Structure 1
């Protein structure tokens, strides 16, 4: 099972290597980042103040190799809501199930450690592999934010997806965990 460890300055070079074009940077980081991704932007990213926010690298416990990146942030303790964001799998590790494991572990942390009731995320409507991954974990599509991000002359749409604690608990029970 994948392990999530704190993302630190020592991980910058690898992440910057994975983000090799402006379109991919927008998919991963949203409009806050500009291409090329650099240390200054990542320093700023890690300094964002948000109680309970976790920024992780995902590590293959067998090899010790970093295979991904994920964030659980925008924690709203009053309403017990959090947001999964900035999910990325290393280009050479895609299609091997790491994304699902990584998202499952972030969800587990959100529900068990932070005692959240709802975890949500946004994903571009054309990112079918990510959508399938999120659906395997139990996320459901709630609505489409139509043409809400601009890339060059194109407008991209985002799905809002969520998973509620009772749904997650039921899924765990059905899986025998």
Structure 2
């Protein structure tokens, strides 16, 4: 059975949709860490989209498309490429509409990004950081093969509260083995 999700390059035409998925500053931090400034603006997202167009690109930004319906439902990025160590970081993972969460689309989207990382780019390792209280995201990443490698306590200050984060990673051999 073909996958129900595929990734396409994120472009300036996708900016307004993504902007509509980020309701407030706390959600922005949950989604992107400190990468963007609150409030998120169209200009920030246009600059972000343009940053993937240079050669070599420092990041690969994708929109996730539900294949049967052709509906764009999510966003995901590979960045922090380390050619020598054949590694990258997965980030800015989002299933945009709340009603689409919990249905397995996030795991399919993550696996589509890992297929690009391991098959197309020939990487050996992909890591990510996720806030430890974001249990649905942690479960999604674990279903895609990520393992918790560390716990970064009080990693980010959000307002007057510190948030802790997990460092998670998946290795190509483990990911390929899980798919057979």
- 1:51 and 1:75 in contact (8 A); partners too: no
Task: After superposing the two structures, state which structure 1 stretch, 149-158 or 88-97, moved more.
Answer: 88-97
- 2:87 and 2:124 in contact (8 A); partners too: yes
Question: Which stretches of structure 1, 4 residues or more, deviate above 4 A after TM superposition?
Answer: none
1:140 to 130, 147, 162: 147
Q: Distance in 2 between matches of 1:15 and 1:105?
A: 19
Gaps of 5+ in 1: none
- 2:76 and 2:90 in contact (8 A); partners too: yes
Residue 152 of structure 2 is aligned to residue 172 of structure 1: no
- The residue that corresponds to 1:66 in the other structure is 72
Local SS of the residue matching 2:127: strand
Q: CA RMSD in A?
A: 1.3
Q: Distance in 2 between matches of 1:63 and 1:131?
A: 27
Q: Distance in 2 between matches of 1:92 and 1:171?
A: 28
- For normalisation by structure 1, the TM-score amounts to 0.93
Q: Distance in 1 between matches of 2:39 and 2:100?
A: 22
- The residue that corresponds to 1:46 in the other structure is 49
| Aligned length in residues | 173
For residue 32 of structure 1, report the CA deviation from its aligned partner: 2.2
Gaps of 5+ in 2: none
Residue 62 of structure 2 is aligned to residue 56 of structure 1: yes
For residue 52 of structure 1, report the CA deviation from its aligned partner: 6.2
